[in-house]
Each structure stands twice: as structure tokens, then as C-alpha cells.
């Protein structure tokens, strides 16, 4: 026992002496210093890290940093975006001042691509990366709002002012007739993500894979391009707590110019009509003012992050509450996300866990209330003098405020997912990674139309409940090999190979009833209704599976010559027995001309790279499972053995030859970085061709048992040119101005609609129905013309009798035409889309503004066609439009209402101020800001807004401002960013 005690004491003494000896050779000291640029301007947010450890800090607003308790012989690594990283030896100094210079090798940063990262300089495909510093400012719902106008060829439109409706995204034109879903979304490497599950404040960067050579790694789901979202991660620098919050107000940006009460009375007087039948209350009501409001919104994001030498973590919570400018429209959403990584076995093993939960509750606006607001007379009151609701049963009329007050269309969802990944370094340069992922989304709907309102009065009250569940299971395995070889390591090779297994399941049920004795219980007591009908109860379920093998090889010689090849083989349960599997290859090459001897001495060229690529991608989005099978559906009842039983009949023909849509794209691009980073940009040309398009065709019965069949028949092409220019126009110690321009031209054309089996000359789509007139289609899908081609009568003038004058097929001017006289009267496809962004900094101030717009596209002004005529005055209201005084007939669809919708919009203005936090040891950064969005639009279009829903009729009849269009809002916000 005594010997053990002595040995223990010896051990303690030895440890103390050993520690003291270490201190004698390398004492721990405190190092302070500043980081400036070449002009002497202090740099804020520079990372200063002790090499080989996770000890580090960032410079404050005055460019000052401090590191306590570090070794006197430590090595510091100082890094900042856009500047060269410096490595400095401490050598016992307590003061270390560093000057960073501009990084003329702008392309050394890593950019996220499919299943990995690549140096920007060595990317061979068309990839655009947008960082958080470049995102749009202000009130944003999701990642699409951050990107709007930032990427040439990526068209992101806001279809209406409804805060519950997401943006429409389209990359390099329409590529399918089967409900174009836009680009495929990948979040932190997980394919098939939902933008709503990631708060904009949690996003670090977004990469857009624009051509097939870069997107083909995602195979059968990437024909519309791919958007890769990378969320923020924790780091070992130091623990951080960040808060970002804002409050916003929204008002109606534009509303229809309807006749006021006085104008209506004057019209009745001028036309000799008896107004007393309607004008009984002396009211002066603006129905659009009554159904709208000033929307108040708020958003709060709180995050905490940090880590140690072998781990990092980040957790965030986001709360968003948005009120639409229409009374019955709002959205409330909670997002929670966490991420952690742990390294072990000398950093050879990395284990990661990610979790996300989103809880939402929203009310979609009943857009039919806009129809009522257009038609209700301004001399009608909202309520009668005694406080009772005023109402009417005239056609397309009823009290919209009463609808909003007593009716409900409430939706709720819960969306959560979790993933775990394990990465192991098998040997130098070879990593193996496995990922497991599971996701579930549930959504429920509770709708009730009060029995005394316009919406519910014919049913005596109408209630409906719906419930939907989406489940997803995913497993992926990836091997990643990287090697450099040669005498100077000039040869670089990266190869990945992977396997993916994914299963998706969807289930749905609904129940409805009507004719309720009381409205008190809303949709919460369906069994008390007395008007159940056969189709009021329903349910459905489907499942699909996708199995994939994929690989990519990338070779680079001295960063001068690069080539990349990818191959993916997908097998999907959605397709026919004869075509379950599809192969999607791609190859691309790049030549960095600036590395050649003949350009080495051209000092003003930092980098000049030519890219060429071709690839094939597929599309299965928008296609339901079981489309290849013969299906049976209910068809009435039959009597058998004393009972009425449900009857079934064929509801879908089998098609074992149904297969993928394939899109081949050839892309040529030139990337340039000039004048030490002052000027940079990209010019690209592409030819994108889709074949074997899916569409439902009419077939003869017999031999088929059902008259429709989905088949692969049509072809389509998109060709275009894109330009991105970035200018660092002014760069001084106190003032900076950066400006960027994006331009894109795309030409879309249907090249084939028929083959030997399935034939059609043209497909008429869209609907131009107006009260009192016959229904007419608005668009045509036809060989030689684009999707979005307007087709109808050519308007010439209005004659002295108040009738339309059209031009018929023989060139004659007539008052009436038939379908044979229809012609091509416009296109919703723009000739040019553009964006212009400007960012200024002056000392602690920052200012940015952003314009975007289109040239050459047309929009059908259904609002003017429906309400801009005198046909039902004075019993219904109308627009204050010259046509009200000119027309004497029921309105007809024609080129009169297809208007040039070219426009430029001041989409975003933001101003901010960053406070000096030196001397406040608990506060790292503080910034306040104010933004304005959708401030004005310059256009000749006569409707409410030239930007409308591009997904109308599943995207086949775009470019229409519908008669129930929800006007957009103008929004102002103030907010604060704090980092502790």
C-alpha cells in the first residue's frame, strides 16, 4: 500500500514537471492583431484559426481579433472570401497584424455539385452558385424567393399575392407536356427535397445545375434541371448564437379600377336605366377595399452553433407568421433543424445526424370572392342599418365579406425527416459513405361553407375533411476516390460510384356532407349532415420505387484540361414492363485557355475557360404510379340477389411500353474572370431536345377498352443564349459598388405530336369562358409552335354598332368567326428575361436594389374581357374602361385581350447599418435593416400584373390573368441581425 502511494506521488510529480517543461519550451500566450486589405481598410468577419486545431475566432467590425491561451509557436491561418489565405507563424509574438490581398484565383472555392464538391475552376458543366451574401433581401418564404432573378435562364415567377402559394420555377424553358414540375430539389445531398422545410435564414448556398452534363447524375428526375441547397453548419471556431428577425407590412400593390358608386349612378342616368331598383341604401362601397387589408407579418430565426476539435453542431428554430392582403389568407409556420457531426479514429470516421421538423397552418384565400367583388354593385352595403348582413342571389354575386367571415378552409401539415450518414476513410484518397433517410408528411384540410353565405347557401352548409400522408424511405451508398499523380502532381482524378434505393408511398382519404341543421360545429360533425352523396367519401393509396446505380469520373491536368463523364441507370416501378430501366449518360470537357503559354503573360486575364458538354436526362415527375396498368373504376350500381352492388369497368388501358421522357442537351459555355476580379461572367448557348414526351391520346374502342391512353409520342426543343456579367465597379477603402446583370433568351418549339400509332394534328387547351358567351379554348399545342401559343380570332376594331370586327381566314373583316378563322395571336413565352442587381457599401452602411423583368411575352387579360363591358350593367358592376362605353355585345375572346406584358419591376430595395461592437465582449455583430419589395412595375399591360401563373392547365395554357386573380402585395419590412 505504501509502495503504491509512493508510486502515485512519483507519477503526479512527473506529470507536473512534464507540464512545466512544456511550458518552458512553448508558453501559452494571448495574441492580438488586426486584419486589413491592401488599401488599409479593416476587414470584418475574417476567420483566424490555429492550424491543426479548431481554436479560432473572427475579426470584429474594426478588424481586430484576439486569441487567448495559444501556443507561442502556433501557426495562424487567416482566410476571407475573395482574398488569398495567409499562413503566419506566431513565433512568440503577442501582436500579429495581417494584410490580405485579393485572390485573383477566384475559382479555388469549392462549389457543391451532384454527390460532391468541385473547385469552381475545374467545373466542366453549367453550374451557377449563389451564396447567402448574394441572396435577395426582405420577406422570403423559401429558397426560390432568394434566387429570383439571380441565375440566367432560371425563371422564378410569383403567380399571385396569396402567401400560401409558392413560386413557379422553370429552367431553360418547358421540357414536358406532363405538368412540368421544374427543377429537381436536393437538400444537403438528399434528393427530392421540399423547399418549405428549410427556412431561408438556414441556407448557406444554392447551386443550380443548368445543363444535362451536370444534372445527369440525378438521372430520371433531372430533365428540368437540379437545384442543390446547402444549409449552414456549425464550426469549431467558437460557440455562436445568432438571431435574425423582422416585422413587415403589406398593402395591395394594384387593384382593379371598377366603377365607384357615383360613377355607377351617372352611368345609369346617362343610359336611362332605373337605378332605384338597386340603389336603396345610399351606400358607397369599394368591395375590393372591404375584402382586403394591410397584412402584418413577422419572422424570427434563432440558431446556435459550435463544436470542438472532432465535432460540430448547429441547431435552429424559425417562426414565420404571414398575413395576406386578403382577409381570409394567412400562413403560420414553425421550422426546426439540427445537424451534428462527430469524428473519430484519427478523423477517419465521421458520423453525421440531421433532423428537421416543419409545422404549418394556413388558410388559402377563396378566390371566388374576387369574382363577387368585381360584380357586386358599389351601391350595395356590406351590412344593413340594423347590423344584418346584406346579400343577394344574383348571378356571380353575393357578399364576399360574409364569405370571409363565416367560411373556413383551414389546412395543417406536419413534415419531419431524419437522416444519418457514416463516412469512413478506407485508405488514402478512398472514402465510403452510407446514408439512411426517412421522411413523413401529413396534411389535413377542414373546409366549411356556412349555410347563410353565398358559398354554402345552395347546400344548406357544406363540410369536407381531407387527410393525406406521404412517406419516403431512402438509402444511398457512395464510394469516393481522389488521387493526384505525376512528377508535379499535375494529374488529378476523382471517381465516385453509388447505389440508391428509394420508396415513396401516398395515401388519401376524404369525407364530405351537406344540409346541416346548425352551422355551429363547422366541419367537425360530418355525420350530422343530411345530404350525403355517393362521391362524398373516398380514399386512395399508391406506392412507387426507384433503384439507381450511378457513377462519375473527373480528370484534370494542371487545371488546364478537364473532362467529366457521368452515368446513371434508373429503374422505376412507374413504367411499363418493357421499359422499367433507363440509362442517362453525360460527358463534358473544359479548357482553361488562360493556363496556356500564349495567354500567361496577359495580366488582365485572370481566368478564361471554354466548356462543352452533352448529356441525357429523364423525367418522371408529374406521372402517377400505375399508369402502365389496366385499372378498374367504379361505374354506378347493379342489382343482384336482392341488393344493389357497386359496378366496375375498365378506367385505364394497359401500356407496357410506357417509358421515360428523355431530354438531351448540348451546352457550350465561356467563363471569364478579368482585371484581377473586377469583371467576371459567363456566356452560354444550349440546344435542349426532349423526345418520347408523355401525353394522353384518344384511341379507338375497340380494340381498346377505354378511349384514352397515355403514351410516349411527342418531341420538343428549347434553344437559348444566356449571359451573366459581374462588375466590381468601384472598390475603395470606404466605398464599394458591385453590379451584376443576367440576360436569357429561350425559344421553345413543339417538333412532333404524332407517330404511327398515336396521331393528333393539334391539341386545343385553355378556357376563355365568360358569362353569356360560349366556351372557347385559348391556346394550341401544335407542331412548329411553342407551349403557350395563343390561338383565336384576330381583332380589328369595334364598329359603330358596338360590335367586334374580326379578320377571317380569307382576310375579310367580319362580325362573326368560326374556329376555322382562328389564327396565332400571341405567345406567353418571353423573348428575353433579365435581372439587374446592385450592391453598395459605405463604411458601416449597405444598400442594394434589384430590378427584373421580361420582354416580348403576351398575357391574356381575362379580367378586362370578363368585366370590361356593359353587358350586365347596371345589375352588375364593371371596370371603368373605355370598352364599357364602346361595346354593345357579349365579350368574345380575341387578340384584343392578348396584351404585350413586357415589364420591368423594382423587386427589392434594402438598406442596412452594421454597428461597431468593439468593447462589447458578448456581442460579435449587430445590424439593422429595412427593405421594400415589389415597389413598382413599368409596363404597358392594362391588367393587374404582367406576371401571372405559368402552371395554368398543368402548364399548357400559361400567360393568363384569370378572372379571379389574387392581386400582389407591396411589402415593407424592418429587421435586425445579432450574433453573440
**Is the preceding peptide bond at 874 cis, omega within 30 degrees of 0?**
yes
Grid coordinates of 718: 428549347
Instruction: Say if CB 168 and CB 959 are below 8 A apart.
Output: no
Give the burial class of 102: count Cβ atoms within 10 A of its Cβ; 0-12 exposed, 13-18 middle, 19 or more buried.
middle
pLDDT in tens, 865-912: 999 999 899 999 999 999 999 999 989 999 999 999 999 999 999 999
- Looking at the chain, the whole-number percentage of residues with pLDDT higher than 90 is 73
- pLDDT of res. 2: 42
- pLDDT of res. 18: 35
> Of residues 46 and 343, which shows the higher confidence score?
343
Give the burial class of 801: count Cβ atoms within 10 A of its Cβ; 0-12 exposed, 13-18 middle, 19 or more buried.
exposed
219-228, 232-241, 430-439: the lowest-pLDDT one: 232-241
**Mean per-residue pLDDT, 548-574:** 95
**With bands split at pLDDT 50, 70 and 90, how would you rate the model's confidence at 823?**
very high
pLDDT greater than 70 at residue 20:
no
Instruction: Say if CB 962 and CB 950 are below 8 A apart.
Output: no
What radius of gyration, in Å, describes the C-alpha atoms of the chain? 32
- pLDDT of res. 917: 85
**Mean per-residue pLDDT, 356-385:** 96
Grid coordinates of 135: 441572396
Distance CA 41, CA 36 (A): 5
Distance CA 978, CA 170 (A): 35
pLDDT greater than 50 at residue 22:
no
**Mean per-residue pLDDT, 542-552:** 96
**How does DSSP assign 599-661, residue by residue?**
HHT-TTEEEEEEEEEEEEEEE-TTPPTTTTS-EEEEEEEEEETTEEEEEEEEEE---TT---E
pLDDT greater than 60 at residue 12:
no
- pLDDT of res. 294: 97
Compute φ and ψ for 750, nearest 5 degrees: -80, 125
Distance CA 891, CA 889 (A): 6
**Mean per-residue pLDDT, 412-437:** 96
In order of 84, 89, 170, 841, 918, the CA distances from 34 in angstroms are 16, 15, 46, 21, 12
81-85, 487-491, 601-605, 727-731: the lowest-pLDDT one: 81-85
Q: What is the DSSP letter of 456?
A: T
**Is the preceding peptide bond at 702 cis, omega within 30 degrees of 0?**
yes
Instruction: Say if CB 74 and CB 52 are below 8 A apart.
Output: no
**Mean per-residue pLDDT, 250-256:** 96
Query: Nearest-5° angle of CA 258, CA 259, CA 260?
Result: 110
Cross-strand pairs, 499: 477, 549
What is the Cβ-side half-sphere exposure of residue 949, based on CA atoms within 13 angstroms? 20
Q: What is the DSSP letter of 772?
A: T
Grid coordinates of 782: 401544335
**With bands split at pLDDT 50, 70 and 90, how would you rate the model's confidence at 15?**
very low
- pLDDT of res. 237: 66
**Mean per-residue pLDDT, 389-401:** 96
180-184, 255-259, 448-452, 971-975: the lowest-pLDDT one: 180-184
**Mean per-residue pLDDT, 134-160:** 89
Cell 475573395 belongs to 82
**With bands split at pLDDT 50, 70 and 90, how would you rate the model's confidence at 308?**
confident
Distance CA 913, CA 927 (A): 5
- Averaged confidence pLDDT in the chain: 91
Distance CA 239, CA 306 (A): 4
pLDDT in tens, 464-496: 999 999 999 999 999 999 999 988 888 999 999
pLDDT greater than 60 at residue 25:
no
pLDDT in tens, 588-622: 999 999 988 888 889 899 899 999 999 999 988 76
Q: Long-range pairs for 564-567 at CB < 8 Å and ≥24 separation?
A: 564/124, 564/125, 564/213, 564/588, 564/589, 564/613, 566/114, 566/213, 566/216, 566/217, 566/615, 567/216
**Mean per-residue pLDDT, 183-211:** 93
139-143, 569-573, 791-795: the lowest-pLDDT one: 139-143
pLDDT greater than 60 at residue 710:
yes
CA torsion angle 598 600 602 603 (round to 10): 180
**Mean per-residue pLDDT, 169-173:** 93
Instruction: Say if CB 96 and CB 72 are below 8 A apart.
Output: no
**With bands split at pLDDT 50, 70 and 90, how would you rate the model's confidence at 776?**
confident
**Mean per-residue pLDDT, 94-115:** 77
pLDDT greater than 90 at residue 85:
no
CA pseudo-torsion sign 597, 603, 609, 610: negative
- pLDDT of res. 474: 97
pLDDT greater than 80 at residue 83:
no
- pLDDT of res. 108: 63
Cell 399575392 belongs to 161
Q: Which of 908, 911, 917 is nearest to 929 (CA)?
A: 911
- pLDDT of res. 293: 97
- pLDDT of res. 634: 87
Amino acid at each position: 500500500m505504501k509502495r503504491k502511494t509512493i508510486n502515485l506521488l512519483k507519477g503526479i510529480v512527473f506529470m507536473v514537471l512534464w507540464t512545466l517543461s512544456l511550458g518552458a519550451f512553448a508558453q501559452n500566450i494571448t495574441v492580438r492583431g488586426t486584419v486589413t486589405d491592401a488599401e488599409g481598410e479593416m476587414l470584418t468577419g475574417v476567420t483566424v484559426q490555429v492550424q491543426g486545431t479548431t481554436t479560432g475566432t473572427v475579426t470584429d467590425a474594426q478588424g481586430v481579433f484576439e486569441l487567448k491561451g495559444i501556443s507561442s509557436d502556433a501557426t495562424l491561418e487567416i482566410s476571407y472570401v475573395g482574398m488569398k489565405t495567409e499562413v503566419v507563424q506566431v513565433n512568440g509574438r503577442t501582436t500579429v497584424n495581417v494584410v490580405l490581398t485579393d485572390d485573383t484565383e477566384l475559382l479555388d472555392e469549392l462549389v457543391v455539385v451532384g454527390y460532391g464538391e468541385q473547385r469552381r475552376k475545374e467545373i466542366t458543366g453549367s453550374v451557377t452558385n449563389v451564396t447567402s451574401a448574394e441572396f435577395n433581401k426582405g420577406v422570403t418564404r423559401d429558397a426560390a424567393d432568394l434566387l429570383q432573378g439571380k441565375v440566367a435562364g432560371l425563371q422564378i415567377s410569383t403567380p399571385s399575392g396569396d402567401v400560401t402559394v409558392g413560386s413557379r420555377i422553370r429552367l431553360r424553358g418547358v421540357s414536358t407536356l406532363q405538368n412540368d414540375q421544374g427543377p429537381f430539389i436536393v437538400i444537403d445531398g438528399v434528393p427530392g427535397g421540399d423547399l418549405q422545410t428549410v427556412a431561408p435564414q438556414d441556407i448557406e448556398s444554392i447551386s443550380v445545375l443548368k445543363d444535362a452534363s451536370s444534372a445527369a447524375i440525378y438521372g430520371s428526375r433531372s430533365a428540368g434541371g437540379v437545384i442543390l441547397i446547402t444549409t449552414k453548419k456549425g464550426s469549431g471556431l467558437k460557440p455562436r448564437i445568432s438571431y435574425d428577425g423582422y416585422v413587415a407590412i403589406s398593402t395591395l400593390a394594384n387593384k382593379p379600377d371598377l366603377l365607384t358608386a357615383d360613377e355607377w349612378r351617372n352611368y345609369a342616368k346617362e343610359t336611362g336605366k332605373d337605378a332605384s331598383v338597386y340603389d336603396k341604401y345610399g351606400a358607397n362601397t369599394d368591395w375590393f377595399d372591404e375584402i382586403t387589408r394591410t397584412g402584418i407579418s413577422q419572422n424570427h430565426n434563432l440558431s446556435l452553433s459550435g463544436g470542438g476539435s472532432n465535432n460540430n453542431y448547429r441547431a435552429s428554430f424559425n417562426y414565420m407568421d404571414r398575413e395576406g392582403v386578403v382577409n381570409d389568407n394567412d400562413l403560420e409556420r414553425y421550422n426546426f433543424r439540427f445537424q451534428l457531426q462527430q469524428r473519430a479514429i484519427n478523423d477517419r470516421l465521421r458520423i453525421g445526424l440531421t433532423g428537421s421538423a416543419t409545422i404549418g397552418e394556413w388558410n388559402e384565400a377563396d378566390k371566388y370572392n374576387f369574382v363577387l367583388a368585381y360584380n357586386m354593385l358599389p351601391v350595395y352595403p356590406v351590412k344593413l342599418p340594423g347590423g344584418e348582413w346584406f346579400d343577394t342571389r344574383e348571378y356571380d354575386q353575393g357578399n364576399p365579406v360574409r364569405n370571409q367571415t363565416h367560411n373556413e378552409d383551414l389546412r395543417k401539415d406536419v413534415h419531419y425527416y431524419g437522416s444519418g450518414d457514416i463516412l469512413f476513410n478506407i485508405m488514402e484518397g478512398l472514402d465510403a459513405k452510407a446514408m439512411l433517410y426517412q421522411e413523413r408528411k401529413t396534411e389535413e384540410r377542414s373546409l366549411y361553407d356556412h349555410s347563410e353565405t353565398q358559398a354554402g347557401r345552395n347546400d344548406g352548409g357544406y363540410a369536407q375533411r381531407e387527410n393525406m400522408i406521404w412517406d419516403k424511405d431512402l438509402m444511398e451508398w457512395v464510394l469516393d476516390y481522389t488521387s493526384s499523380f505525376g512528377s508535379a502532381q499535375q494529374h488529378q482524378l476523382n471517381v465516385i460510384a453509388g447505389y440508391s434505393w428509394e420508396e415513396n408511398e401516398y395515401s388519401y382519404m376524404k369525407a364530405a356532407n351537406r344540409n346541416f341543421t346548425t352551422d355551429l360545429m363547422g366541419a367537425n360533425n360530418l355525420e350530422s349532415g343530411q345530404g350525403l352523396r355517393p362521391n362524398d367519401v373516398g380514399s386512395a393509396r399508391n406506392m412507387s420505387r426507384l433503384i439507381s446505380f450511378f457513377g462519375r469520373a473527373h480528370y484534370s491536368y494542371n487545371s488546364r484540361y478537364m473532362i467529366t463523364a457521368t452515368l446513371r441507370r434508373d429503374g422505376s416501378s412507374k413504367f411499363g414492363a418493357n421499359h422499367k430501366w433507363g440509362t442517362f449518360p453525360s460527358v463534358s470537357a473544359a479548357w482553361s485557355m488562360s493556363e496556356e503559354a500564349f495567354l500567361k503573360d496577359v495580366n488582365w486575364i485572370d481566368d478564361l475557360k471554354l466548356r462543352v458538354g452533352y448529356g441525357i436526362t429523364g423525367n418522371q415527375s408529374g406521372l402517377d404510379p400505375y399508369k402502365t396498368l389496366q385499372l378498374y373504376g367504379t361505374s354506378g350500381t347493379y342489382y343482384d340477389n336482392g341488393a344493389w352492388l357497386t359496378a366496375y369497368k375498365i378506367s385505364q388501358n394497359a401500356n407496357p411500353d410506357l417509358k421515360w421522357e428523355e431530354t438531351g442537351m448540348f451546352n457550350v459555355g465561356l467563363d471569364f474572370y478579368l482585371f484581377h476580379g473586377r469583371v467576371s461572367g459567363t456566356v452560354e448557348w444550349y440546344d435542349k431536345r426532349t423526345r418520347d414526351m408523355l401525353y394522353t391520346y384518344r384511341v379507338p374502342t375497340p380494340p381498346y377498352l377505354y378511349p384514352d391512353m397515355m403514351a410516349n409520342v411527342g418531341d420538343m426543343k428549347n434553344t437559348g443564349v444566356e449571359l451573366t456579367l459581374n462588375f466590381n465597379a468601384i472598390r475603395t477603402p470606404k466605398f464599394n459598388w458591385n453590379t451584376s446583370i443576367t440576360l436569357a433568351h429561350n425559344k421553345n418549339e413543339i417538333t412532333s405530336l404524332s407517330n404511327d400509332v398515336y396521331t393528333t394534328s393539334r391539341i386545343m387547351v385553355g378556357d376563355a369562358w365568360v358569362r353569356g358567351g360560349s366556351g372557347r379554348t385559348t391556346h394550341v399545342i401544335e407542331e412548329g409552335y411553342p407551349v403557350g401559343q395563343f390561338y383565336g380570332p384576330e381583332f380589328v376594331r369595334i364598329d359603330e354598332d358596338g360590335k367586334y370586327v374580326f379578320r377571317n381566314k380569307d382576310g375579310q373583316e367580319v362580325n362573326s368567326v368560326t374556329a376555322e378563322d382562328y389564327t396565332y395571336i400571341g405567345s406567353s413565352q418571353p423573348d428575353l428575361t433579365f435581372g439587374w442587381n446592385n450592391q453598395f457599401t459605405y463604411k458601416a452602411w449597405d444598400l442594394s436594389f434589384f430590378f427584373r423583368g421580361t420582354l416580348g411575352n403576351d398575357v391574356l387579360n381575362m379580367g378586362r374581357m370578363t368585366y370590361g363591358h356593359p353587358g350586365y350593367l347596371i345589375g352588375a358592376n364593371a371596370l371603368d374602361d373605355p370598352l364599357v362605353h364602346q361595346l354593345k355585345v357579349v365579350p368574345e375572346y380575341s387578340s384584343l385581350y392578348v396584351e404585350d406584358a413586357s415589364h420591368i419591376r423594382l423587386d427589392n430595395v434594402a438598406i442596412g447599418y452594421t454597428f461597431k461592437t468593439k468593447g462589447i465582449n458578448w456581442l460579435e455583430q449587430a445590424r439593422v435593416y429595412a427593405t421594400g419589395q415589389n415597389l413598382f412595375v413599368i409596363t404597358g399591360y392594362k391588367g393587374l400584373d404582367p406576371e401571372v401563373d405559368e402552371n395554368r392547365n398543368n402548364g399548357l395554357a400559361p400567360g393568363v390573368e384569370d378572372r379571379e386573380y389574387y392581386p400582389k402585395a407591396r411589402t415593407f419590412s424592418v429587421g435586425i441581425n445579432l450574433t453573440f
